[in-house]
Chains A and B, each alone.
Chain A
Amino acid sequence: MSESPPAIEVHNVSKRFRLYHERNQSLKAAVMRGGRARYEEFWALDDVSFQVEAGTTFGLVGENGSGKSTMLKCLARILRPNKGSIDVRGKVSALLELGAGFHAELSGRENVFLNGSILGLSKRELTARFDDIVAFAGLERFIDMPVKNYSSGMYVRLGFSVAINVDPDVLLIDEVLAVGDEQFQRRCLERVADLREQGKTIVVVTHSLNTVRSLCDDAVWLDHGKVQAAGRAGEVADEYLGQVHVDHEAADAGEGTRWGSGQVRLTRVELLGADGEPADQVHTGDKVSFRLHYDAREPVPRPVFGLGVSTVEGIQVTSPNTREAQVVADHISGTGTVDLEVERLLLLPGTYAVSAACTDETITHTFDHRHRALHFDVKPGIPHETFGGLVSFDGRWRID
């Protein structure tokens, strides 16, 4: 382990916001009231401490209003904490809003230089990186056009491209990666992964547990401005998942936690072996089925069923659902089963966990979600591969 000091140290930081009763921001109103504005105070951050080791990726997780974005803005020095201290070592770049400070009337080229200098790049650095920036955004043909004629996607792409080229020591990201088309998002994530490998310190604000698990080394879970948990990302994510969404009434069966509104309940999740009997151990290449038993207390139109298969360490392997497979039931009521038949299970030996969920048509409302409702072991089978990994390609070697 290196002995370098932490990249970010946050000591007992508290941030107070004022909630004004009447938003009277005028001298006239101040005179009429004969004094100061009336407001209530609330603590968006309450005695928060943590540190981020140099070269690691750190997650700030929490629900909306938990203070995670406020924390990020404090790290970026946009907000000033009322108490406590924050030390950030090195050059900071904050991706809070892409293209902040673009001037609509100016061309893309002029805005690259303007935005770049806002983010702390010198003209020389910008000139050297200009072609990269434009190429990454894919805007070669449009770079001399005023940005007001850009589509929102082009705008965001250029903004990200400038921000990512700042070459910061510490990069702060506020869920901005959820913009642009899928291809661009993937390139953004690759770029962030590059920076990670170059040993940059990255702080991500997110409420996506997948992001935390796959991207972060450590994490802090904030709730109502207080630290609920801190530590390794996987543990914090589990704790967050376990406590935030717990529907205590529903925690009857299975070892995992569950949440949801309960119109539909997943009463059992099973793995059926080749013989059609429940199994907790199968082999690579076996024909298997995953069976969800549901109980709909009232008729539910067009529900979506889904599975999430992951390793016990938390790496997601696959997440099939009925919506994407375009298998839709008009409505369900009472009890029944949903099967996912797998002709050949191409998982390599190991222990896997299965989560199951039933949601509404749009996958925004969860009826029932059972986290890690089932575990099963995969034993060596055919194809026989024992050199590690999660899945087999089931390919054929040919040597000519």
Chain B
Amino acid sequence: MTKLHEITSRRELFVNLTLRELRGKYKRSALGWAWSLLNPLTTMAIYSFVFGYFLKVTPDPGDPSELKSFAFYLICGLIPFNFVSNALNGAAVTLTGNANLVNKTYFPREILVGANTGSWLVQFFIELGLLSVALVFVGNVVLVWLPLILLMVAIETVFVLGLALMLAPAAVYFRDLQHLIVLVMQVWFFSAPIVYPISYVTDRFPVGSWQYTLYSLNPMVRFVGAYRDLMYNLRAPSFGDVAYLMVVAAAVMVAGAWVFGRLEGRLAEEL
């Protein structure tokens, strides 16, 4: 509890470190912030071309929005996934990258991890904002669903922060963890219905089969489903999914805080 109080009393530091991450990232590059958007746009273009055009992946039209667009279908799942992926890849290097701070100054080290997640959260918000504008242009008025979208973002942030708190100190003790995370993220990407509709899975393994139950334990499957419901289909996600994600996020967060507390003791010596 005293730890929590200490962390909350350093809000300004958290904001400053987050700003530092954001400012440092694209400073001195000609396109600046545009780079941060170029990445998901390029991914979207490639996948739309390969999966939508060549492989003819055709998602069902939005229900009830009637929207028919592979690109939008894809990006509604891609953006939430990228947040997880960016934040976890970042968490793996945030302590080693700030070794100087950890070795020479004191503040609750959780703030470094939080600032890294926070900087990617800002990026996530910008992407969501632009996506919402684009969706309005094609007729999907997502504004009504904004409160629920924000709720999903909140749940996902807790989930990501919990994982980041475990990964960040572990990556100090095992420096190759950052490479492993890249691999895991690739597997995770294709294990969730981002580039393919979930119907491809349910056609083969109907809802209720043990295979599907196993598949849907993956929180990413439900996150993607929920964001897609809210932004592509324009309907509320199932209560069961949201409740499940809340429980998972809370559990991961508690575990993350515990792991971080266990591992932070020797951080300064190991860096």
Task: List A residues at the B interface (Cβ < 8 Å).
Answer: 17-18, 25-28, 30, 73, 76-80, 92, 94, 96-97, 100-101, 103, 105-106, 110, 113-114, 117-120, 122-123
Q: List 11 A-B contacts (CB under 8 A).
A: A26-B175, A26-B176, A30-B174, A78-B104, A79-B269, A97-B103, A105-B24, A105-B27, A114-B17, A118-B105, A120-B13
Least CB distance from A83 to B in Å reads: 13
> Contact at A106–B105, with CB atoms within 8 Å?
no
Distance A119 CA – B270 CA, assembled complex (angstroms): 22
List B residues 228-271 near A (Cβ within 8 Å).
265-266, 268-270
Would you call B107 an interface residue if the criterion is a C-beta within 8 Å of the partner chain's C-beta atoms? Answer: yes
Given contacts A25-B173, A30-B174, contact A117 B13 (CB under 8 A): yes
B125, chain A: closest CB distance, angstroms = 22
How many Å lie between the Cα of A114 and that of B15 in the bound state?
Answer: 10
Query: Hey, which chain B residues are within 8 Å of A26, CB to CB?
Result: 174-176
B175 vs chain A, min Cβ distance (A)? 5
Determine the chain B residues whose CB is within 8 A of the CB of A18 once the complex forms: 266, 269
B116 to chain A, nearest CB (A): 14
Residues of A within 8 A of B13 (CB): 117-118, 120
Does B16 lie at the interface of the complex (its beta carbon under 8 Å from any beta carbon of A)?
yes
Point out the residues of chain A lying under 8 angstroms from B172, CB to CB: 25
Tell me the complex Cα distance, A96–B105, Å.
8
Q: Closest chain A residue to B264 by CB distance?
A: A80
B 1-27 contacts with A by CB, 8 A: 10, 12-13, 16-17, 20, 23-24, 27
- B112 CB, min distance to chain A CBs, angstroms: 10
Report yes or no: B23 in contact with A97, Cβ–Cβ below 8 A: no
Does B131 interact with chain A (Cβ within 8 Å)?
A: no
Are A118 and B107 in contact (CB-based, < 8 A)? Answer: yes
Contact B174 A27 (CB under 8 A): yes
* C-alpha spacing A119/B12, complex, angstroms: 11
CB distance from B14 to the nearest CB of A (A): 9
Contact yes or no, B268 A25, CB < 8 A = no
B100 engages A100 (CB within 8 Å)? yes
Which residues of B from 87 to 142 have beta carbons under 8 Å from A? 98, 100-107
Contacts of B28 in A (CB 8 A): 105
Contact of A114 among B20, B176, B268 (CB under 8 A): B20
* Contacts A96-B104, A118-B13 supplied; 5 other A-B pairs, CB < 8 Å: A25-B175, A27-B180, A100-B103, A106-B27, A119-B105
Residues of A within 8 A of B268 (CB): 73, 78-79
| B100 engages A97 (CB within 8 Å) | yes
How many whole Å from A104's CB to the nearest CB in chain B?
A: 9
B45 in the interface, Cβ–Cβ < 8 Å?
A: no
Q: Considering only CB atoms, which chain B residue lies closest to A76 in the complex? A: B106
* Cross-interface CB contact of B177 among A27, A78, A79, A97, cutoff 8 Å: A27
> In the complex, what residues of B have CB within 8 A of residue A101's CB?
98, 100-101, 104-105
Return the contact of A122 from the options B12, B103, B174 (Cβ within 8 A).
B12
Q: Is the CB of B180 within 8 A of A80?
A: no
Chain B residues whose CB sits within 8 angstroms of the CB of A119 once the complex forms: 105
Taking CB as reference atom, which chain B residue is nearest A126? B12
Give Cα A106–Cα B27 distance, bound, in whole angstroms. 8
Rounded to whole angstroms, the CA-CA distance of A30 and B24 in the bound complex is 34
Q: Which of A25, A73, A120 contacts B174 (CB 8 A)?
A: A25
User: Measured between alpha carbons, how far is A27 from B184 in the docked complex, in Å?
Assistant: 15
B12 to chain A, nearest CB (A): 5
Those 10 A-B pairs whose CB atoms lie nearest each other, nearest first: A100-B104, A26-B176, A97-B104, A77-B106, A117-B16, A27-B174, A117-B13, A25-B175, A105-B27, A96-B104
